[in-house]
């Protein structure tokens, strides 16, 4: 169980990371803070590119950093945007790859928790590795 103080700490960490976002086109900085089941923390920010499809979301940056360090079991991720926006479809799918029970905290730039749900709730009927025929 994650406490209210732990949630706020993750939101604050994501909000701090958000300041480093590279968003010269959208001007919509996003920060993420991911806690793995082992307790390690990874942050991410959105990184835009003049070739728009090459842009990377904050959530995926944090996830890929964790995976590159050998972590694949996640407990909770916080996402901070100006208005408490939700992860995009691509980020939802990447989160689903590593666990439908991961808690997703969505907060605004004031650090206020706007919504909390699991990946399963964010992406009903998710396509996961179990769907692949072996």
From 6, 16, 59, 69, the catalytic residue: 59
Q: Order across the sheet with 74-80: list the strands.
A: 41-45, 31-36, 74-80, 103-107, 113-118
Judge whether 97 counts as a catalytic residue: no
Integer Cα distance of 14 and 71 in angstroms: 19
Closest alpha carbon to 102 in 66, 53, 49: 66
Backbone φ/ψ region at 53: left (φ over 0), alpha (ψ -120 to 50), beta: alpha
Catalytic residues: 59
């Amino acid at each position: 169980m994650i406490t209210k103080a732990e949630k706020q700490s993750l939101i604050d960490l994501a909000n701090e990371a958000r300041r480093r976002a590279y968003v010269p086109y959208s001007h919509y900085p996003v920060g993420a803070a991911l806690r793995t089941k082992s307790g390690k923390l990874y942050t991410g920010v959105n990184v835009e590119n003049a070739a728009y499809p090459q842009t990377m979301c904050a959530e995926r940056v944090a996830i890929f950093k964790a995976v590159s360090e050998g972590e694949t079991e996640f407990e909770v991720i916080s996402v901070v945007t100006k208005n408490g926006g939700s992860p995009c479809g691509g980020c939802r799918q990447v989160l689903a790859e590593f666990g439908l029970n991961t808690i997703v905290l969505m907060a605004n730039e004031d650090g206020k928790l706007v919504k909390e749900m699991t990946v399963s709730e964010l992406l009903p009927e998710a396509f996961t590795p179990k769907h692949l025929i072996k």
